[in-house]
Structure formats: C-alpha cells, structure tokens
Structure 1
Amino acid sequence: MKLPKGEADHPGLIIVQIDGLSRTQFEHAISKGNLPFLSKLIRREHFTVESFYSGVPSTTPAVQGEIFYGVRAAVPGFQFLHRASGKVMRMYEAESAAVIEDELRSRNEEPLLQDGSSYSNIYRAGASFTRYCSQDLASTEVMRRANPLKWFVLGIAYLPKLLRMAGLAALEFVIAIADAFKGLYAREKALSELLFVPARVVVCIILREAVRFRILLDIERGVPVIHGNLLGYDEQSHRRGPRSEFAHWTLKGIDRAIRDIYRAGDHSVYRDYEVIIYSDHGQEHTVPYERKHGRELHAALAEVFSSGPMAGTAVWMRRNSDLLGNTVGRFRNLVGLRPDTSAASGVPQPDSQVIVTAMGPLGHIYFPRPLTVAELEGYVTELIRVAGVPLVLRPQQDGTVQATNARGTWSLPAQADEVLGASHPFLEEVAQDLVSLCFHENAGDLVISGWNPNGQPLSFPMENGAHCGPGSEETRGFLLVPDRIRRWHHARLPATGARVRGEDLHKIVRHFLNRDGIPEEKSAEKRGGRKELSLRVMTYNIHSCVGLDRKIRPERVARVINHFDPDIVAVQEVDCHRVRSRGHDQAQLIAEHLRMSHVFHAMFEEERERYGIAIFSRYPLTTVKSGYLTEADPRLFKEARGAIWVKVATEEGRSFHFLNTHFGLGRAERLQQAEVLLGDEWLGSLPATEPVVVAGDFNSGPRSRALQGFQRRFQDVQRVLPGHVPIPTFSSAFPLLRIDHLFVSKHFTVDGIGKPVSPVARMASDHLPLFAELTLQ
C-alpha cells in the first residue's frame, strides 16, 4: 500500500451506515448502554441526533440510490420486475445492482463517492475502490480480483487483525448456536435455523470486521470520501425482531468498529476527517404472513387468480418463506454461491404469467396483459377478502392512488390518515411517496402492503422484523452529524429541521466535499433567520496553524472558525511565507476558506517571512490604524506587540470599530501595552458614542492589572451574560486559563457565548476560540 506524502488541504468524510436501526431503537440502545461510544459523541463531541427519513420504499437500494445519486425511489422495492428487460431483480445480486446503477448514472453526472471507497453497499457509487458491494460479488469479479500471493502477503502483514477477526467469529458462532436452539424451542423452522448460523457469522462478524479493516486502511491512504455499511443489526432484526436482545447485542460490536474508525480518522497524518453516522431506515416488528394465515402467500394468490380474467394463468413467485430477511441470500453471494432459484417456478415469463415479487412487507403484482378497471377492482377485493392482504394500492388515471384495506377504500394522498394512521411522524411525505411509488416505471399493476395502522403489520416472508413499506418505524432512521456540518444544512435546507432524507444527505455531502459550487451564505437573513442587527464575533490564537498533533493545517483552523459562522474574527500568531509553516500565507488561505475579506499586520519581518495578527470579516472594513504597541527588545527576548484597528460597515447601514491585539508574556510589558492601547493614540481618541469591540490574546487573566482599564471602560462578554460560567481558553488540551478576551462597549448586548470544546478545536491550536453573539443597539 502506497501512503501519500505531505498533508491534504481539505478534510475527508467517512460515512458509516448502520443498516436498519430505527431512531426509536437507536435511542433505546443508547439508554441501555449498547452504544457507549456513540453516546459519548452525543454527550461530549458536538454531534447531534436527527431523524433520517428513508422515503418509500424504505429499503437500502432505494435509500442509497437517493443518497449516492440524488434520485428518489431508484427502485420500487428490494425485489421487482424490471419491465424493460423482463427480469426479476433482487438487489443484492450483482446483475440487478449493475443494471439499476447504470440507469442511475445516466440520470446524474457525478456519483457521490467519486474518487472514494464503497464497502458493503448496494451500489459502487463511482468509487475508485469497492469491496463487498453487490456488483463485487459477481463470480467474474471475484475471479478477476483473486491474487493468492497478494492475499498471502496481506495475511502475514495483518496477522494480528486476522486473528482478532477469527476470535470474534468463533465467539459469534457459539452465540449463534445458542440462538438457533432458542429458535427451535420457539418452533421456528429447523432448516432455516441451521442455515442462519454460518450466514450470521459471515454477515454480522466477518463482513463487519472486513469493512472496518478496509476503512482503517483508507484513512491511512487519505481517501477523500468513504462509505461503509454495517449490516449486522439489520440481519438479526429480520430474524428475531428489531427489539430483540440478539439484535441489540450486535450493536456493541458495531459501536466498537465505529469507535476505531473515528479515532483513526481523528489521528490521520495526511488528512483530517469528519464522520457522519446514519441508518438508512428502521424496521417494524412484524408477524409473518404464513404464521398468521397458515399458508404461504403464493398459495393464497394462486387461489385469488384461479378465477376471473387470470383463470388458468400461472402465478410466478420466488418463494422465500423459509428465509428470514435476506441474510442467507447475502451469505450465498459473499461465499460465491449462485443465487438461490430453487424455490422459483422456473424462469419468469411476464407475457404469460402473473408475476409476484414480495420480498418483505411490500409486494408488486404484474399482469401479463392490461385489465379493465372493473377487473382490477375485483382482484383488489379478493386480495383483501380471500388472501388477507392488509393493504392494496392501485394507481388512478388522475394521478392519485386508490388504497383499500379491511375498513374501506381511500384516496392517497388526501386520506393519508385513514391508510397510514394519523400519528405517523411523516404522514404527508409518506403519502406522497406512496403515490410516486405506485407510478414508478417498474412498479406492479397492483401494489400490496403488510401495513396496518390499527394492528401489528405483516411481512410476506417468514421474518419477525421487516422494512420496505410506509410504517412509522421503518421510514424513520437516525442521523448523527457533527454540529459544524449540521449548521450548514439547517440554514440551506429548511425541511431538514424536521427530518433529513437521502437527497438532503446527498447535498450535504457534496457541499462538504466542495462539489456543489455553493459558497457559504453571507447575509444575516440567509443564515438561520438571525436578528437584524445581531453580530457574531470571535477571537482565536491560531498558533501558526500548528496543532497539538504538530500538523500545520490552515484549513483545519478555518473549519474551527466556520463552525461558529462568525461575522468578524480576530486571530493572533499568524504566519506568512515562513519556512517553519511550509511557506503558506496563512491569513490568505484562511480568508479563502471562510470566503471573507481580511487585513494582516506583521509584528515580525525578515526578508519574505512575516508573523503577526489578522482580522477576517464578512462585512466591508476599512483599516483605521495598525502598528506596534511596544517594539521588540532582543536583549530581553521580547517580541514586538501591536494591534489592528478597523471600522466595519454592516449591511444594515450601521458601523462599529473592531480592534485586535496580542499582548506580551512579561507583566511589565503587558501593562505598557494596555496603557498605549487605551491611550490617546488608540482607543482614547474614540468618542464615547462610537460602538467598539476589542478582541485578542491578552496573556492576562480577568483580575490582572493589565485588564483593569479595559474592564472599567468596556463590558467583558463572559461576565455580563446572565447564568454564564466563564470559559477558559488556554490550553486547548486542558483549558485552565482565561487569557483570550472580548470586550465590548455599552452599545452592545451579549446574547450568547459559544462552547468551543470540539475534537477539532482541541487539536487545531494550543488555544480554544472565544465566540460571542452580540446585538448592536
């Protein structure tokens, strides 16, 4: 593996999908201690939990199509008839995934994972490197990638990790055997219980560890964007139900894998990484159709279509009643076996057979010829009465959908509450998505669903947990997102205040990767509805952009600043063309990342090398004065210290003065610098009617003599905010000292103080930033 040299200017993004974990079950797992690391991220690391809306169908190939390509309802289900080819698709099969991804590519110029990596996903999404995705499991692809010598060398190099994987697999095998006996005791089918044991070990442990290992390697390689899907919980939930202890047990291993990935990204040498964690959908606790009705769905549908216009027409259905979820199917793919077609009634013939696809709680019925409205209505009635299907959907010519259940016939989207239940968290959006689903080019002539708003839903295979339909749990996953990323999407995508869906996440990621061409918003109106004359100000000693990890990263400093979305920023210890900081003009680089104007004043100059302080501003500014407060004294090892004074003009026609300074280390020189800055040549010349903000690293505590004059004339923002406990800013690793300050004149009120303790802020400099929200009266 060839490692990159130097350091990347832009951060990377790691996206981890926990397949099938609803927000309800996520919160339950947090409360029970099954996700300790994710709980820590929420409590301490500036991550926020949001609701992720899957859309309908609530299944991975549809959701990933929306995330990776920005296309809603890429498929009408996990299994469906592809009308153009006449083939029945199952989306974990290589051929099916390839066909649909080609169609998605034709509708979108750049897939989301371009130049990145894709692991255990349905789609490759343009990634340069992929493993364990549906298309990777084609026999020809497996043979093409086979390289015994390479695998032998890797096995020797990573022997400890492989032994760890083997140990975890052995432990899971023992647990799986115990679980199988529990299933037999509960009168589950013996064959499916035995088949699930090796399938569970491969899918839930070996695949998880392989994805974890690959992502760790990618972090070392500095890959810009990585997406990995962890399947274990989803597969266990299909078998035992989403609330089961065995399903929640798998979350502990997933949590550890995410912990390792997060820490590796946090300590990456080449590139900084942000992490997004989400679930593509949830699961409903379901009753299998066969268990409730005493016969398979295929037998019931054969009875329904034995009379009427389809009398004498064969019903084709891939009967997977003794498979729980798609674990065994995934297992067959992973170990290179051909797809299971033994239960199918031969090759489907759409021109002469009724084709039924029902892999989950949502199914499609395709007729070999068009039927009249009356004929379709007759079959809708029989599906409810004879087959006991909870919900049948039929598209109408006026663009609406007729929805029939045991209580009557309703119209979607207008009567969504009668079909879905009035308490559904995404009622209107789900109703509209159901309508769109029924008009999908590959949808059936009739769509059947196990959803029942007044009782436990059904799933057509033998599974105790299911998803694909419109249920309140299966459509509601979660999104765990860093606050810095969250701030942008809440400002730019208003609907995400209530939920984030796949197309939103697509836009969020593209913006983070600088692929959308959208600049940071600059007007107060566009940045979250802020008050008309509110201002966000910051002071930050950036330590020449040298972090505690010794990495020189101006872009990382810009990310810390940008997290708070300030209007004006005072920074100290800024390098310009210095050899020690790779020759960067740091003020210019940071200003470009922030999309702000800036001024810089050097306190040290030697040939091209300079070192000093700077101000960044969203608003136009005019330099009033910049210069030294005290000169350098080489005999006493004292640096020159100075200040920058600008006048800022806001969009509302108001103006204020802003000063940035950096005091020295010696007590005597700080007293002298304070006296000069408050004297007639600087602040003393300002009339009392002029609003002013003074910011900087004063190297002095709030009770020091050097600050007494500032505290008499100005307000210390950390002291005047009711209920606020002042925040120390030095050092960033163990903040103990309050030496960075913001002073404001009486023209300002202090509305809030930002909390700067995020992982990136702690690492980017030896100081933490100080941020305040102000209102100019």
Structure 2
Amino acid sequence: MVQIDGLSRAQLEKAVQEGNMPFLARLIRRKHFTLENFYSGVPSTTPAVQGEIFYGVRAAVPSFQFLCRDQAKILRMYEAEAAAEIEQEMLKECSEPLLKGGHSYSNIYRAGSVRSRYCSQDLAPDELLRQLHPLKTVLLSIAYAPRILRMIGLAILEAVLGLVDAVKGLYEREDFLTEMAFVPARVVVCIALREMIRFRVLLDIERGVQTIHANFLGYDEQSHRRGPSSDFAHWTLKGIDRAIRDIYRAANHSTYRDYELMIYSDHGQEATEPYERRFGRGLDTALAGVFARGPLDGAPVWMRKMPELVGNTLDRCRNLMGLKPKNQCSDGTPDPAKEIIVTAMGPIGHIYLPKKPVDAEMVDYARAMIVEAGIPLVMWRKPDGEIAAMNSRGLWALAGDRAEVLGEKHPFLDETSEDLAQLCRHRHAGDFVISGWDPRGKPLTFPMENGAHCGPGSEETRGFLLVPDRIRRWHLSHLARTADRVRGEDLRKIALHFLGRDGVREERVPEQSVRRKDLPLRVMTYNIHSCVGIDGKIRPERVARVINHFDPDIVAVQEVDAHRSRSRGHDQAQLIADHLRMTHVFQTMLEEEKERYGIAVFARFPFKILKAAHLTPADRKIFREARGAIWLKIEPEGGAPFHFINTHFGLGRNERRQQAEELLGNAWLGGLSDDEPVILCGDFNTGPRSPVFARLRSRLRDAQLAVEGHKPCATFSSVKPLLRIDHVFVSRHFSVEAIERPDTPTAVIASDHLPLCVELTLHANGCDK
C-alpha cells in the first residue's frame, strides 16, 4: 500500500492531465487501476485516517495537535510519545492491526509491523540508537553505491531548485529566514526520505515481505508551503511517480509473492489564506481580546502559541536526525484548570476553557469570535448533546443545517456533518472547536501556510484510491456504500479480505461483508493450466486473484493438479478454495499413485453432488486422456435450486463427439425434464461452428449469443485470444445479463486461457432473453 500524503483527487487528476505523473496515468489508461473517491473523514489528517485504516477506529484524534485532557499536556502527532499513546488506546479497541507481521515506512503508527522506519515512534532518540547498525550501513552503502550517488545528485538538484523557489518567495514578500529554512527541509523530506523509503520497499519486495505500507510526504510538505496546485508542489509528484513505477515493476516481477499494489491519499488540501496574513495579527492576540471579559475575566489567560509551518517542517527534520523538536512552548506545562488553552495546527482549532460558561454565554463568545476575531466557523456541544455551529450567516444546528455550515455542494455532505459532530464530542476536543472552513469564501488556516487540511472542506476530505480491478469488484458487491466513495475502515476491510485475514471462513460472515442479494448470479468457467502462467511460474494464488476479480458465485475450473511433483505437490483446488473462501469439489481425470489431475467447482452456495464421473475413458494406445464432468445441484439460501455441470472435452474430434453424446444422454442431461434449470460450462476444445457445438445448442443456449449487442469473445490463448473454446450454456430459465472477459496483465499471464464470466438471472417460468 502506497500513500501519497495530502494529494486530493482533483490535484491527482490535474497532475495526470499535465504529465506530472505519467506512470500512474498509463496504469489508469490501461485499466490496471480504477480511480475512486477516498473520503478521509473529519478530522482530515493523517493520524486520524491512518488510525481508521490500521485499526478500524474512527477519529482516533480530534486534530493533529490537541490537549490530552487525561494528562493535561499538548500532544502533536509527529512526536514519538504522542503517537505511542494514541496507538496504545487504539489497541484496546482493535487487537488486529492491519500491518501485523509487515513493514511500515514514514507513517504515524507502526500498526503491528515487525519492522518500521521513519514513523513517528521511530524518531525518538533512543529508538534511533537501537536501530543503528554501523556495519550493516557500511555494507549496504558499498552494495548500493550507484543508488546512493543517484540520491546525492537528486538532493543537489533539489537544493538548487529550493534556492530558486526561495528567491521567488522573497519576491512575493515572504519571510527571508522562513524561505532559507525550507531549502534543507525540502531536500530531507522530498528527496532523502523518498529515496530511502523507495530503497527499503524494493528490498522488502526482494525478500518477499507480505504486507508493506509506505507514505510519501513530499507533496504534502510542499503543498503546505506554496499551495496544493502550485508548480513546486506538483514538481515533487514526478519523483513520487517514479518511485511508484519502480515499486510496481518490482512487485510484478517478485519471485516470492503475488503482490497487489493499492495507491491512495489519506486526504487532500485546501488552498487557504493564513489567518495572520488576512487580519494582520495572530490568532492568540485576537482570542485574548475575545475572552478578556465576562465570566472568564480575571482568570489567567494562557495561549499556546500555534506552531507554524516552518517550525513543523524543521521539527520533522530534527526528528529524522534524532533531535528533540525546538518548536516547543517555553511556558511549561499548561494548567487546564486555570488557563485558556488554544491548539490550532491547521484549519481546525480547539479552545479549552478552565470553566465552561452556560449555553447563552457560549453563544455570546462564539458571536464575538466570528465578528471580532474573524473566525469563519465556531462549534460547541450543547447541554443536550447536540452540536451548535455559528458562522457569519447565523446560528445553526449542525445536524439539521449541514448545508448552511458545509455548503450544499460538498461531495460528502451527510457523512462529513456526522463526522464533524463526532469530532466536537471527542473526549479530547475543546469546549469550542473553531474552523477556517467557509463554503462561500476562501478558507482560512491558523498557521502561516498556503495549503491546509484537517477540517471539513470539500477538497481536504476528498482523497483518491487507485484499486486494482480484481480487488475492486469485491468491495462493490460486499460493501455497498463504497460505490461512490471508500473511507478508511472500508479500505481496511478490503485489504484484510485480500490478505485472507477477515475471518469469514472461521466465523459467521458480518452482515456488511455478505454479497448483495440483488445482484445477478455470477458464473465463471476458467481453464487454469495447472496454475502455470505463461511466465512459467506456478502460482495458485495468482489464479485465485484473477477469479476474485469477478467475485463469482460459482466457478468451474479445468486442468487442476493435486499433489503432483510438477506443481510442487500442492493441492491446487484446496489452495484456491481457501483463498476464495468457497466450498469445492474435485474430480480426478488422471491418477498415478498419489498424483491427480482433473476438474473442480467452487461455490459460495450449498450444493449436492449428483454425479462426478468420466464421459470417456483413457486410451493409452493413442495417448488419450480420460475426460469427465461434475454435476451439482446448487441450493441457494432463499433461492430456487438449479443444476450446474462442469466439463472438459478432449482434443480429438471423434472423442469430443462421444463426450457430447454421453453428456446429452439419459445418464446426464437427457435424464432431466425441460422444467429443470441447467447451467453447463467448461473447456469444450471446440468452436461455435463445429458439429459438437451445434449438438449442445440443440439442448441449451450459448450465453454469449444471448446478450443483445455483445460480440462473442475468444478466451484462447490468453496472450492473443483467437479461439472461442470455453463456453457457458444455459437453459431457457436463465436470462443473460452480462458477459465479461478480463484483459488485465495478471489475467493474461496467469494461464494460457482467459476466464469467461457470465451474469445470469433465474426465472421460475423460463425466459426468452
């Protein structure tokens, strides 16, 4: 899993269109990935989103910086101690971190990984010393000297560009020290960190590490500084695109694993105006004037100085070098019982009061913050638990007036308002929650930054997800709400299902994971070529991934090995069934001692085996294999039963005729009445113009000819499909809704055949369609 920190879907599309991410553009164009919306939730910040992805916990934190009420101290989530504390809290709610047994790079949390680097917890000085291996570092430096020299060259280039950018900033009247401080910061974050992550991920792929999660920070850092659509922010995407290219290629050529790559952004960024630039004063000064009267008058007013962008970036660099952050308040530990505490690292801020006023006074303070301090949005929790929201247009109830607060064109209006309400109820949230979001004007951010996130804005909550097509179908059919957007907890379920860790085989399937009952019956036939791909690699898991692409209900496969030395002794049917989480039946066509070879059926529905036998016997004199079929009666829960037959015909013309006649005889299909629904599929080794095909069509319909406007598609060979020899035949009881045949790189390489998938609807009284 690759995270591009802070890149909204709109900015991704802009980068693709303008040529800044050519590799991702090519993958999308060639249908390797489908581009989907990723909804970050609120707060739209990495600690909250990663908490939801890694642990399934929504809004683990109320913002990037906040007051921990239990310990009366300020937590900032790139600090090792803060990240460790929040992670321990999430472990109490979820004992199955997503990265359990895997590796984690440049994330907030380790998430159960056995190895992590550049994560918040790894940047503590004692942890850096523990991970330091001088001899290994020297050996790796020698072995990978060319790559290290390349990184040094890129760093020099980035430094030059940074100086050019600094001159541009000075021309635009930016602060000189701030501009110069960013030159080394961008080299560290945009080049050094990116290349170290890239190097480690490639090394992990070589080793066959099962689960890897890497977060690239460069765009997010540059976007904070110059804005999300700035040229310099988009410049960093070129390097990230090249890193993803290398990771993708290494994963595809892995000897040990059949890797899948998912790429996503945890959130986007809004183009913002800093509060101080708009009003000519800091937020702390403005709030001091608001609260220096009324019931709080006379109470010591203590304002936590908001860390600004340059301080945050320098602190990140200091953390990487094992040094403590310098951007600390020198006033000591805050006292919430006596001081007004403000935390506002971004467009969301929290105001903690030593004594909460009554609701009428809360309204007065909120109005003063809007009128006198110019804060766009102020929210608080009322005594009845409802969330009040005030902006320049009036006082609103967040639940009922969400369009007035967030804007009626917000892409996730309902869910964002619910998440924003939960944020205001968070146990570490302030008595007031302030926001720079204004749907009718340019958003504000409280630090000095031109791009910001954490709030409920339409861009900052709308990231993206690039998901491989063969994974996508599962979440569309099992997680119905993900049709228009995926959020963190959904991405977690998708990843756990892919890894086989969602527990659906051992436990009762959760309601939200059950395939939607309103979908048509999906049937597949697939000659898997003993799981030997055209690259010569034996990969049952890869075949299972291709099957999973369709999320079928019933699968008929041919050329299946069991305990054969040529296929490493695997029981391929069992391995695939385990991966699909389906029950299965296997029928032997060839048996030599313990080695077997035959056909199989996988089904998610209960079934009865009516018959599994040979249609024609083997003939050693003419080197002819035995050929047979499996006949099941499928009994869906709450649905009408039907018959299902999987077969594999021979290579000789005469034997195919014999097999067809046997299959249509009284011992098989001929013994069924016309009222019985039947599906017959398999590899018939014969085309649509042959006598055998015509004979089968005298009893059943060819599914590929039953869809109006569909051009029948060939399935052999997978590299250049020219022959239509894999077929699905159905009785008059079924209407054919759709036909699919994949052309993804994995499907092309997994076998010498492509699978054929048919969507059907069963009608009790028959159907002419």
Aligning the two structures, in what range does the TM-score lie when normalised by the shorter sequence?
over 0.9
Give the secondary structure class of the aligned counterpart of 2:182.
helix
The corresponding residue for 2:304 is: 317
Within the candidate set 120, 125, 128, 2:111 is matched to 125
Within the candidate set 405, 412, 418, 1:426 is matched to 412
The reply on whether 1:29 has 2:29 as its aligned counterpart is no
Contact 1:316-1:345 at 8 Å conserved across structures:
no
The corresponding residue for 2:515 is: 527
Contact 1:319-1:343 at 8 Å conserved across structures:
no
TM-score by length of 2: 0.93
Contact 1:318-1:344 at 8 Å conserved across structures:
no
For residues 698 and 302 of structure 1, what CA distance do their matches in structure 2 show?
A: 82
Contact 2:10-2:459 at 8 Å conserved across structures:
yes
Contact 1:361-1:451 at 8 Å conserved across structures:
yes
Give the secondary structure class of the aligned counterpart of 1:109.
coil
How big is each residue's C-alpha offset from its partner over 1:105-152, in whole Å with a ceiling of 9 and x where there is no partner?
Answer: 233223221111111011111211000001111111112222211100
Amino acid at match of 1:320: P
Contact 1:430-1:470 at 8 Å conserved across structures:
yes
Contact 1:204-1:231 at 8 Å conserved across structures:
yes
Instruction: Give 1:752-771 correspondences, 5 Å limit.
Output: 752-771=738-757
Contact 1:289-1:461 at 8 Å conserved across structures:
yes
How big is each residue's C-alpha offset from its partner over 1:479-509, in whole Å with a ceiling of 9 and x where there is no partner?
Answer: 2223333333333333323322222223333
Within the candidate set 132, 136, 154, 1:168 is matched to 154
Contact 2:315-2:327 at 8 Å conserved across structures:
no
Give the secondary structure class of the aligned counterpart of 1:20.
coil
Contact 2:342-2:350 at 8 Å conserved across structures:
yes
For residues 62 and 617 of structure 1, what CA distance do their matches in structure 2 show?
A: 39
Give the secondary structure class of the aligned counterpart of 2:303.
strand
The reply on whether 1:495 has 2:481 as its aligned counterpart is yes
For residues 367 and 713 of structure 2, what CA distance do their matches in structure 1 show?
A: 68
The corresponding residue for 1:9 is: none
For residues 733 and 481 of structure 2, what CA distance do their matches in structure 1 show?
A: 36
Instruction: Give 1:620-769 correspondences, 5 Å limit.
Output: 620-651=606-637, 654-678=640-664, 682-684=668-670, 686-769=672-755
The corresponding residue for 2:348 is: 362
TM-superposed CA distance for 1:635, in Å, is 4.0
Within the candidate set 523, 526, 533, 1:537 is matched to 523
The corresponding residue for 2:317 is: 331
Contact 2:359-2:383 at 8 Å conserved across structures:
no
TM-superposed CA distance for 1:43, in Å, is 3.3
TM-superposed CA distance for 1:266, in Å, is 2.2
Contact 1:324-1:461 at 8 Å conserved across structures:
no
**Which region of structure 1 is more displaced relative to structure 2, 156-165 or 54-63?**
156-165
Within the candidate set 588, 593, 596, 1:602 is matched to 588
**Which region of structure 1 is more displaced relative to structure 2, 411-420 or 149-158?**
411-420
Within the candidate set 136, 141, 144, 1:155 is matched to 141
Amino acid at match of 1:41: L
Amino acid at match of 1:331: C
- Unpaired stretches in structure 1, ≥5 consecutive residues: 1-14
The reply on whether 1:287 has 2:287 as its aligned counterpart is no
Amino acid at match of 1:316: M
For residues 625 and 434 of structure 1, what CA distance do their matches in structure 2 show?
A: 59
For residues 666 and 10 of structure 2, what CA distance do their matches in structure 1 show?
A: 63
The corresponding residue for 1:7 is: none
The corresponding residue for 1:134 is: 120
How big is each residue's C-alpha offset from its partner over 1:232-265, in whole Å with a ceiling of 9 and x where there is no partner?
Answer: 1111111111111221222222222222222222
For residues 249 and 394 of structure 1, what CA distance do their matches in structure 2 show?
A: 40
The reply on whether 1:512 has 2:498 as its aligned counterpart is yes
TM-superposed CA distance for 1:283, in Å, is 0.8
The corresponding residue for 1:111 is: 97
The reply on whether 1:243 has 2:229 as its aligned counterpart is yes
How big is each residue's C-alpha offset from its partner over 1:673-731, in whole Å with a ceiling of 9 and x where there is no partner?
Answer: 44544456554555555443332212223233443323444322223322222222122
How big is each residue's C-alpha offset from its partner over 1:58-107, in whole Å with a ceiling of 9 and x where there is no partner?
Answer: 11111111222222221111111112222211111112212222222233
For residues 68 and 652 of structure 1, what CA distance do their matches in structure 2 show?
A: 36
For residues 569 and 319 of structure 1, what CA distance do their matches in structure 2 show?
A: 59
Residues 1:595 and 1:765: Cα distance change in structure 2 (over 3 Å): same
For residues 443 and 67 of structure 2, what CA distance do their matches in structure 1 show?
A: 24
**Which region of structure 1 is more displaced relative to structure 2, 697-706 or 409-418?**
697-706
TM-score by length of 1: 0.92
Within the candidate set 53, 76, 82, 1:90 is matched to 76
Give the secondary structure class of the aligned counterpart of 1:326.
helix
Give the secondary structure class of the aligned counterpart of 2:62.
coil
For residues 299 and 630 of structure 2, what CA distance do their matches in structure 1 show?
A: 89
Contact 2:43-2:423 at 8 Å conserved across structures:
yes
Within the candidate set 418, 429, 444, 1:458 is matched to 444
Residues 1:628 and 1:418: Cα distance change in structure 2 (over 3 Å): closer
For residues 640 and 406 of structure 2, what CA distance do their matches in structure 1 show?
A: 53
Contact 1:749-1:775 at 8 Å conserved across structures:
yes
For residues 575 and 58 of structure 1, what CA distance do their matches in structure 2 show?
A: 49
Amino acid at match of 1:575: D
TM-superposed CA distance for 1:644, in Å, is 3.2
Instruction: Give 1:320-399 correspondences, 5 Å limit.
Output: 320-321=307-308, 323-324=309-310, 326-341=312-327, 345-373=331-359, 375-399=361-385
For residues 570 and 198 of structure 1, what CA distance do their matches in structure 2 show?
A: 59
**Which region of structure 1 is more displaced relative to structure 2, 15-24 or 325-334?**
325-334
The corresponding residue for 2:434 is: 448
The corresponding residue for 1:585 is: 571
Contact 1:306-1:313 at 8 Å conserved across structures:
no
The corresponding residue for 2:61 is: 75
Residues 1:318 and 1:692: Cα distance change in structure 2 (over 3 Å): same
Contact 2:526-2:682 at 8 Å conserved across structures:
yes
Give the secondary structure class of the aligned counterpart of 1:612.
strand
Amino acid at match of 1:530: D
Residues 1:619 and 1:378: Cα distance change in structure 2 (over 3 Å): closer
Superposition CA RMSD, Å: 2.7
Residues 1:762 and 1:418: Cα distance change in structure 2 (over 3 Å): same
For residues 154 and 448 of structure 1, what CA distance do their matches in structure 2 show?
A: 49
TM-superposed CA distance for 1:368, in Å, is 3.4
**Which region of structure 1 is more displaced relative to structure 2, 65-74 or 596-605?**
596-605
Give the secondary structure class of the aligned counterpart of 2:235.
helix
Contact 1:235-1:326 at 8 Å conserved across structures:
no
Contact 1:645-1:658 at 8 Å conserved across structures:
yes
The corresponding residue for 2:454 is: 468
How big is each residue's C-alpha offset from its partner over 1:643-668, in whole Å with a ceiling of 9 and x where there is no partner?
Answer: 33344444456444433222333445
Residues 1:394 and 1:297: Cα distance change in structure 2 (over 3 Å): same
For residues 653 and 335 of structure 1, what CA distance do their matches in structure 2 show?
A: 63
For residues 716 and 34 of structure 1, what CA distance do their matches in structure 2 show?
A: 47
Contact 1:45-1:759 at 8 Å conserved across structures:
no
TM-superposed CA distance for 1:375, in Å, is 4.8
The reply on whether 1:50 has 2:36 as its aligned counterpart is yes
Contact 2:299-2:338 at 8 Å conserved across structures:
no
Within the candidate set 384, 387, 408, 2:394 is matched to 408
